[in-house]
Amino acid sequence: MVGLDSSEGSVRASRMAARLAVDLGAQVVAVHATLSSSGGRPGREQLSCWCRPLTEAGVLERTVVQDDTAVRLLHRVAEIENAYLIVVGSSERSELGEFLTGSVVADLAHHGNRPLVIVPTPDSEIVMG
C-alpha cells in the first residue's frame, strides 16, 4: 500500500512502492486522503499522474480516495486490505512544522502495526540510532 498526495515525497514513494511490488510479486493499493477544506478530490488526470509508476510497472491493484485524514485512512485501509507494508514519502516540512501540525509518518511509525517504508527527500539527513 502507498500513501499519495501532491508532494515530491509522494512521487518518490510511488516509485519505491512500484519497485518493491515488482520485486515481491505483489499488487499495490494507492491511497489518497482528502478533506473538503483541502480543495476536494484530485481529478482523474492528477490521480493518474501520481499512480504512473505503479501503472507502468503493472502493479496497481486499485486506488482509494476518501474524505478523511491521511492517518486515519492509511490505518483503516491497511487493516481492511491486510497490507503487507505501507510506503510513504517523508515530509518536506521543518521539524517545527511537524511538531505544530503533526506528522503522518510519525503517527504511522508510532501507532501502526505494519512495516513502514519511509522514502526520504533527496536532501534528508539519514540518522541511524
Residue 59 has a pLDDT of 97
Residue 94 has a pLDDT of 47
Residue 37 has a pLDDT of 36
C-alpha cell at 129: 540510532
The distance from CA 110 to its chain's CA centroid, rounded to whole angstroms, is: 16
- What are the residue ranges spanned by the domains of the chain? 2-119
Give pLDDT < 70 ranges for the chain. 35-40, 91-102, 123-129
Residue 104 has a pLDDT of 85
Residue 83 has a pLDDT of 95
CATH-assigned architecture of domain 2-119 = 3-Layer(aba) Sandwich (3.40)
CA distance 96 to 76: 28
Residue 39 has a pLDDT of 57
Cβ(2)–Cβ(87) under 8 Å?
A: yes
Cβ(104)–Cβ(33) under 8 Å?
A: no
